[in-house]
Amino acid sequence: MAFSRGAKRPIEFLFSWFGISRCSGHCYSSSTCRGSHISEVSEVRSLFSYNYGGSKCVSAQKLFLRNFSVEVPALDQMNLIKQLRERTSAPIKDVKSALVACNWDLDAAQKDLRRRGVVLASKKSSRTATEGLLALAQNEKRAAVIELNCETDFVARNEIFQYLALSLAKTALLVESSSEQICTELPVGPEYLGDLKISLDHPKLSGETTVQSAITEVAAMVGENVKLRRGLSVSTSAHGVVSSYLHTCPQPGLGRIAGILTLEVEDDSVRLDALQGIGSQLAMHIVAAKPLFLSRESVSSEAIESEREILKSQAEATAKSQMAIEKMVEGRLRKYFEEVVLLEQKFVVNDTINVKSLLNDLSKEVGSPVKIGKFVRVEVGEGIQRCA
């Protein structure tokens, strides 16, 4: 009893100093003061704001606020958790932990979550990210596509992740590249975009920041490794159109597979409307047929010789004559071109003709030669080694 009475006196002194009433006759913790308000915590903080003893006073303040903070009613706690969750999209466990650590101060808890998130995001940056989305933005003469990766398809369906991907594609579209450059990853790749400024306007992600900072912040929100893997652009300086197609599209401008090409016509007076429809169908064909080369002439001699050697070894296994083997190799080589060369492929919309015949028919229709200038096919995760 003597010990109990002695232990109460310092606490009674604190309460008398701060002017806080003891509402319970049996316990001196302010958590029993049902009539107290959160504003009392601010008064306590202001009393500790004087620099008595430097850092020791600050430590004492934190210790007191942790042990004698005012209890927030359960309903207010739920509302604060809901508000912070809506602001940050952080897991509920982390949201509550941050609020408790910050004495249910909403703004302070949000800053605390952001600090924690950046640290966690940097720790997760080494993890393999093979899921994600392609985002595409285009205008009349140019199209840009970026690949934003994450670890799971669940995060790929997250609205903030999708918003960031679309914003990055729009930024990539604005990046200038040399006019003579064939489509490549370099002009709008991560090393080019990382330090660029990006303006965001989303309830949970807003303001002007750098591309890399925005990616880090989203990674902190979703709790996974998020990375901008690559970006590329396709443009035409000739009279023509840029056409695109996105497959597995959760919303306009997003997908998992993209096909992009340029259709160019020699006569500048030809209306481009006639090219738009065929261009869209050819972009879809590129996604479905997976061409590797535009024409036979664009296939490297090394690729042809490598394929010829494979076909020859297969034909020799039949034990036929040398003349028969040579005919088999040439026939299978033609088949190889039909599989990997865009102009030689059967058109997916009408397999009675190939793409070359389709372009010839279109040229007759518009009264001027039409050709494919460039094409590209991109798929999420291609070339990334997945963990078993």
pLDDT above 70 for 112? yes
- 358, pLDDT greater than 90: yes
- Rounded to whole angstroms, how far apart are CA atoms 34 and 132? 49
For the chain, how far is it from start to end, CA to CA, in angstroms?
65
Confidence of residue 11 (pLDDT cuts 50, 70, 90): very low
What's the pLDDT score for residue 66? 46
Q: Give the pLDDT confidence score for residue 52 in this predicted structure.
A: 42
CB 64 within 8 A of CB 17: no
Question: In whole angstroms, what is the distance from residue 222 CA to residue 220 CA?
Answer: 6
Taking only the tens place, the pLDDT of each residue in 180-210 is 444 544 456 677 777 888 999 888 888 898 8
State the pLDDT at residue 295. 93
* 231-240 confidence digits (pLDDT tens): 998 988 789 9
Q: How far apart are CA 345 and CA 356, in angstroms?
A: 8
Question: What is the model's pLDDT at position 145?
Answer: 94
Quick one: pLDDT at residue 98?
Answer: 81
DSSP 156-220: HT-HHHHHHHHHHHHHHHHS---TTPPS-SGGGSHHHHTTSEEEEEETTEEEEEEHHHHHHHHHH
**Confidence at residue 251, expressed as pLDDT on a 0 to 100 scale:** 93
**Residue of 301, 262, 257, 291 lying closest to 183 (CA atoms):** 262
Mean pLDDT over 111-140 rounds to 76
CA distance 49 to 6: 28
Mean pLDDT of the chain: 78
Q: What is the pLDDT of residue 387?
A: 55
Q: How far apart are CA 244 and CA 147, in angstroms?
A: 15
pLDDT at 303: 87
Min mean pLDDT across 6-10, 285-289, 346-350 is at: 6-10
Mean pLDDT value of segment 151-155? 92
Q: Does the pLDDT value for residue 363 go beyond 80?
A: yes
**pTM of the model as a whole:** 0.69
Express as a percent the part of the chain with pLDDT over 70.
73
Torsion angle of the four alpha carbons 10, 15, 19, 25, in this order, in degrees rounded to the nearest 10: -130
Distance CA 107, CA 99 (A): 9
Residue 157 has a pLDDT of: 93
- Of the segments 19-23, 93-97, 327-331, which one has the largest average pLDDT value? 327-331
Tokens of 151: 């670890």
Inter-residue long-range contacts of 304-308, CB under 8 Å, 24+ positions, other chains counted: 304/333, 307/333, 307/336, 308/333
What average pLDDT does range 207-221 have in this prediction? 88
Q: What burial letters (b/e) apply to 2-32, b meaning 16+ CB within 10 Å?
A: eeeeeeeeeeeeeeeebebebeeeeebebee
Return the pLDDT at 212.
87
- Dihedral of CA atoms 177, 180, 182, 187 in degrees, nearest 10, equals -10
Does position 39 have pLDDT exceeding 90, yes or no? no
DSSP letter string over 51-65? Answer: -SSTHHHHHHHHHHH
Name the least confident of 60-64, 109-113, 312-316, 356-360: 60-64
What's the angle, vertex CA 67, arms to CA 66 and CA 68, rounded to 5?
100
Task: Tokens for 340, please give them.
Answer: 């990997």
If one counts every other C-beta atom within 10 angstroms of the C-beta of residue 321, the result is 9
Asked which of 31-40, 186-195, 321-330, 356-365 is least confident by mean pLDDT, the reply is 31-40
What pLDDT, on a 0 to 100 scale, did the predictor assign at position 111? 76
pLDDT at 282 over 60: yes
Q: How confident is the model at residue 136 (pLDDT cuts 50, 70, 90)?
A: very high
Domains and CATH numbers, the chain: 74-125 (1.10.8.10), 131-288+374-379 (3.30.479.20)
